[in-house]
Each structure stands twice: as C-alpha cells, then as structure tokens.
Amino acid sequence: MHILSEHKCFDGLQLRVRHPSAVNHCEMTYSLYLPPQALAGGRVPLLYWLSGLTCTDENFTQKAEANYQDRKSVV
C-alpha cells in the first residue's frame, strides 16, 4: 500500500491510497476516510462506496462535497 495523499477533514483524516491488485492485474486507487474515533483507536462502521465504470476514486468526495465544511471555513 502506498499513501498518495492525506488531508484533515471533519476532525478526521481523508486518505487516497494505491495498492497492487492480483485480481485485476494492475494498481488500484481508493479513498478512505478515518473519523476522529478511528484515529483515537476506536472501532467504527465501514461503508463501501462503489463508483460506476467511468468514475474514479475521487468522485464521491468531489461530487458529494464530502469536505464542504473545510472549504466553507477557508472562504
């Protein structure tokens, strides 16, 4: 696994990660959000978001404005 980027978001951490996939025979990239409870060592539920064929791992965070709070505080 290789962390491509990490950003603070809603007191948690948003990661973009790449890993080699033996099944797909290529490198795969995904995004992962760790809420503050997870960063403190707590257990949290896991939600998988599978994008469509023409989407990327960044679609949810961009189109859903998942990091809206952070952008709002900058403006």
pLDDT one-digit tens code per residue, 3-56: 999 988 888 998 899 999 999 899 988 888 899 999 999 999 988 777 767 777
**What's the rounded Cα separation, in Å, for the pair 54 and 59?**
10
* Total residue length of the chain: 75
Q: Which residue has the tokens 């797909």?
A: 24
Q: Is pTM beyond 0.75 here?
A: no
